[in-house]
Amino acid sequence: MSSLKIGEYELLPFDLDAKPAMETYLARLQLDTSDYTFAANYLWLSGGSGFYAIIDECFCLFLLYGGELSMLLPPLGNKSKTISAMSTCFTLMSDHNDSPLNNKIYYVDEYLVADFIDQLAPGAEIFDLLEDFIVERSLVDYVYKTKSLIDLAGNAYSTKRNEINKFRRIHPTYQLEALDPDIHGDGISKLVNKWISDRMKYIPVEQQEVFLDGVYSERLAIRRMIKDYRALNLIGLVILIEGEIKGFTAGEQINDQTASVIVEKTDFEVFGCAQFIFREFAKVLFHKYDVETINVGDDMGFENLKKVKMSYRPSKLIPKYTIYQRH
């Protein structure tokens, strides 16, 4: 991928070579939000074009999609330069895009929204910020206490326990293995294809095109996960039944206390498999990596996904915002 030139700025391709630079800037923030890691962005940019630049001592990550430029994260780094970096980034988007509606910054952590406000001139009120920018709450990340996901104690988790127990009764010879891309890559791809085929049977015709667009991006992300698994320092787990992969999950440590689940897939026809692998992955993260909390990301606006994530009783919800520039 070549670089992207806009005025005096050169946006560099967001590839593996960008990992050290981005992680240097992220280390200064120490956020628990799932989007604020190199791996999460690198994987999900498989279907688009990512670019970055260091602007006003901040790491600025851009997405080029359909010829239009937006930002996947706000400028990361020097807090005293955040507002000026953000203004420059909006200028770059305006200079490049055909429509000002595409000039936006996604996934802005609530902590950083507060920073933007704090950096205004002394005595400035929040509406002064809104003279130039519109800040809109969008999604939330779901965060859980790792120990709670392991114990599943109390009536609130009785259904989860029953599903796990039934899985273990029906499949007593299951095997759990640490994900190894060389050993498990083909089996993971086979499972993903089956998962898509099974889902298509229940998707209404009018929703199939949207579903397939999303699945295309997810398949690319999973392929990239397998290819660059070790370079990204990912942590993963697979479950096998009679030698066939029926579920896999992969995530990473966001910081010393918090890990994330980036992707998880299980066979629909294996009852309790999703609940079982989720708890087993929590055990791995707790006992091997001393992780106290697990962030499973947002629900992407899907009501069914929201219900599933709420059913695990999150200990914290992390709001995320989108910032638009006034026209």
Instruction: Give the 3-state secondary structure of residue 279.
Output: helix
pLDDT at 71 over 50: yes
Give tens-digit pLDDT for 22-61.
999 999 888 999 999 999 999 988 766 899 999 999 999 9
Closest of 27, 25, 44 to residue 35, by C-alpha: 44
Pairing of strands 133-145, 258-266: unpaired
> Tell me, what's the pLDDT at 187?
98
For the chain, the average pLDDT equals 91
C-beta of residue 246 within 8 angstroms of C-beta of residue 267: yes
pLDDT at 143 over 60: yes
pLDDT at 205 over 80: no
Query: Residue 231 to residues 15, 51, 195, 235, 249: CA-CA distances in angstroms?
Result: 12, 19, 27, 11, 17
55 or 205: which leads in pLDDT: 55
Tell me the pLDDT band of 116, cut-offs 50, 70 and 90: low
> Tell me, what's the pLDDT at 321?
92
- Mean pLDDT to the nearest integer, 236-240: 98
Tell me the pLDDT band of 160, cut-offs 50, 70 and 90: very high
pLDDT at 121 over 70: no
Give tens-digit pLDDT for 161-170.
999 999 999 9
DSSP, residue by residue, 13-53: E-SGGGHHHHHHHHTTT----TTSSHHHHHHHTTTSEEEEE
> Tell me, what's the pLDDT at 234?
98
pLDDT at 124 over 60: no
120 or 312: which leads in pLDDT: 312
> Tell me, what's the pLDDT at 111?
85
Tell me the pLDDT band of 126, cut-offs 50, 70 and 90: very low
> Tell me, what's the pLDDT at 31?
92
> Tell me, what's the pLDDT at 118?
64
DSSP, residue by residue, 221-235: HHHHHHHTTTTTT-E
Q: What is the 3-state secondary structure (H, E, C) of 91-155?
A: HHHHHHCCCHHHCEEEEEEHHHHHHHHHCCCCCCCHHHHHCCEEEEEEEEEEEEEHHHHHHCCCH
